[in-house]
Structure 1
């Protein structure tokens, strides 16, 4: 049996004819007082979900930790091809069966009722922000506001950004999959442009007193002790004639990247929530990325990066919210990648106090039920003016 779901019906109030109409004053807040955020580079969310054991592990982690917002880098689903208008639909995949598999898993097994995607036109990169037990954002962007991205003008062309704006709470969630620094002058320049755009956005937001939580795979190890077991080995990589000293080193561990990252934190008035909770640096426990083992029949040690790791995934919060960081956990550990859920990145889980219930409203007793509906991925570029599209979900 199929059921139609109107995308504009998120959290539509359901009238209960049997409700007792006794006025009751309740304290309500649009955003939960504490939200649980998970940042995870899935190294292909599609492949993780195709594996039944891994899919089961993902759903269990989401439910056991009561995750409100899951931010995924490397979704790796190709977006819809060009329409008759020449526009590319970057919130829907052109692979029907794969799209259905991902959406059904996220909604039915994980319980997410809001799905936001920004996809590339090939199976690379792509990010997704999935929400449960959360109100709809007032506005959603798929690029850094104010930047020129070409194409449809709404999405970063490589699907690297989602910004959910809960304006009524003065809270924005910024998910980015930062480009790898690479090994060429062109890739260096691409990364510098990305960092510069984010820096301008963060500085402007800070000047306006806006609260931004920035999370995702930021592709930089902030300090010497955020890689291991031998930081000097990472810094010796990419030794090329004529290369600027600041660009020498493994991508994600060059001095230039670290300098720009420090500038980004300062510009946005942000702090590293993980380091705020874990002052003692221990790369074995801290690393969110671990190298791959050698391919059979070779032993694991044949892998060039096996046994090595970097801390390059973050949840960054405004300094003003320092005391609101309740906990931050790296859910994976070790060269065997225990808890990595099939990826080469571990999930990072943060519990942050973001809201104080302060709005009084009158509701009749018993008339407080809400209908939480699942979508096939938000079709909205601006959720203040959502389209009236209907999707079909199999029961």
Structure 2
């Protein structure tokens, strides 16, 4: 099964650019920051099962998951109003695993939303662990944080995504038995999934697919795709299920 995850920085914009078509040949497509409650006609006609969870605020955040396999169930949000109003997660239950599509909050300029971000981290961890009691979990999306120093082209611990608290949680979740599929396949590679439009020297690997360790031996490939159209690049996970 091939799963692609992509922060598209606006579904309408990425569709208008024609870039979305480049990822529609996979088995599951997880989109973050869709910024719209409207579904483009080509998606409606695509034959995919669509689970969309837009933000309450227009033009902001939102996630959408498309799967060829019909989900057994769909869970929108984390049952926490402040997170769910921002359209941060949508989860589909497939035959062999749960697939979580997550758009983690950015810690904000000057780390103004760091507490909000860490609260979200802790809540989604609780949610992941709860689902995992039933079947394995795969969570893909824009985590808006790095794991370690080599995951960023620059270093400033007051920068969103680089703060010690954010990195501490990222490393904590990996120690709990969630595998960073990209690093599992590429143990020494230095590559980034996001690059600033404004400052080209600013780049980070902040987009991930984490796989609960029960599926570790099923991971076949994970790579960052060279597809333009957003300030993020898609990440592709291939898993045998």
- TM-score normalised by structure 1 residue count: 0.58
Query: How far apart are the structure 2 equivalents of 1:348 and 1:271?
Result: 15
Maintained 8 Å contact 2:224/2:233: yes
Deviation, 1:107, is 3.5
Which of 16, 20, 43 is 1:58 aligned to?
20
Maintained 8 Å contact 2:4/2:23: no
Which of 139, 150, 154 is 1:214 aligned to?
139
SS at match of 2:80: coil
Match of 1:335 in 2: none
Deviation, 1:279, is 1.1
Deviation, 1:290, is 0.8
1:36 aligns with 2:18: no
Structure 2 unaligned residues grouped into runs of 5+: none
Query: How far apart are the structure 2 equivalents of 1:42 and 1:60?
Result: 12
- Following superposition of structure 1 onto structure 2, how do residues 81-230 of structure 1 map, counting pairs within 5 Å? 93=37, 99=38, 102-108=39-45, 111-121=46-56, 122-132=58-68, 134=69, 136-144=70-78, 147-149=79-81, 156-166=84-94, 169-183=95-109, 187-206=113-132, 208=133, 210-228=135-153
Match of 2:185 in 1: 277
RMSD (CA atoms)? 1.9
Deviation, 1:315, is 0.7
Which of 235, 238, 241 is 1:351 aligned to?
238
Q: Does 1 or 2 have the higher relative contact order (CA < 8 Å, sep 6+)? A: 1
Please identify runs of 4+ aligned residues in structure 1 that moved more than 4 A.
none
Query: How far apart are the structure 1 equivalents of 2:23 and 2:71?
Result: 24
Match of 1:368 in 2: none
Deviation, 1:186, is 5.1
Q: Alpha carbons of 1:314 and 1:142: their partners in 2 closer, same or farther (altered >3 Å)?
A: same
1:231-255 deviations in Å (ceiling 9; x for gaps):
3xx32xxxxxxxxxxxx42101111
Q: How many residues align?
A: 240
Structure 1 unaligned residues grouped into runs of 5+: 1-34, 78-92, 94-98, 236-247, 293-302, 333-338, 355-395
Deviation, 1:148, is 3.3
